[in-house]
Structure 1
């Protein structure tokens, strides 16, 4: 199964991006996680550009079309989603291969519930299939864990592995949702 991992942060030291890189390292052999490389290259969404899409948008759409599922981690700013993730999703609004795409939403802070809710609402409006059993909050904010620390810390590594396993069951095997096994890791 091919999973496209999308970070809503452009920061070099982003905990959300580190979490997605840790997911790539912890993925089982049947799951290939690829980080979306064009997030920061996308121009601001402008419907006038849809006639001749910028190359970064063409690349994004090709990656989304070839992915079996998406894994999204994005911070919260001012009680909302980042402009980065909103811009990326705006480029996918009328993109047919996005419809019914299984998506897992990872949240690194229990306090970031506004952005988490807003992101889920946007994804539902765009007809994505949010895999709730794969969508978890892993309280990493302030934990001081690096990517290596996330991989080596058993509760976080377990949460990531279980999230990917749940996403695999729904996206690759077509099994029904089992409900969240651990909505919040402590």
Structure 2
């Protein structure tokens, strides 16, 4: 198997983020041949504005280029007020544009394999935020994995901030998600080559 590159985005800006810890856990558990690089510049992306869209700011260009270069995306989202954090939605809005008028430019999210996961200290986890992301990726025509779902509840009991997984079920699900992502990337590559 050739090397597979994954760009991982945590939707949290917090230093002690459980979702960033979940990405660190994925990096530790990545199958052979998979490299997971964490995107660390979410805070630098300015609010989306159609006024500057024709000449997007450098952080936006960098994000688009990194998404385009990666074989897949791995997104770890917290849930704020029953939804996706604004900084994450904003970044994905930039990456998805332009949508109208339709031009020859294609979003780097189009047909991109995407795996979604999330961690929270509560008993509900990030179910609603993940659902919102799935809806967003329908519009971008991304290849989102539907299973396994990674909803880490009571994250403070299951994850250490350095990415150590303290729960066997969480570790097994995370390994399963990464294996499923490898399969989705390979299927997408075969379809593109055909």
Ranges in structure 1 where 5+ consecutive residues have no aligned partner: 176-186
Does the Cα contact within 8 Å between 1:9 and 1:75 map onto a contact in 2?
A: yes
User: 1:137–1:46: structure 2 CA closer, same or farther, 3 Å change rule?
Assistant: same
Deviations 1:138-182 (A, max 9, x none): 32434263144634543322221111001001113549xxxxxxx
Ranges in structure 2 where 5+ consecutive residues have no aligned partner: 98-105, 190-194
- With normalisation by structure 2, the TM-score equals 0.82
Say if 2:113 is the partner of 1:126: no
Decide which of 101, 106, 110 is 2:117's aligned counterpart.
Answer: 106
Moved more, 89-98 or 71-80: 89-98
Does the Cα contact within 8 Å between 1:24 and 1:32 map onto a contact in 2?
A: yes
Does the Cα contact within 8 Å between 1:99 and 1:128 map onto a contact in 2?
A: yes
CA distance in 2, matches of 1:82, 1:131: 20
Say if 2:160 is the partner of 1:146: yes
SS at match of 1:11: coil
**Runs of 4+ that moved beyond 6 A:** none
| Total equivalences in the alignment | 176
- With normalisation by structure 1, the TM-score equals 0.85
Computed over aligned residues only, the root mean square deviation of the Cα atoms, in angstroms, reads: 2.1
CA distance in 2, matches of 1:149, 1:54: 32
Task: Select the structure of larger CA radius of gyration.
Answer: 2
Decide which of 74, 86, 97 is 2:108's aligned counterpart.
Answer: 97
1:182 maps to none
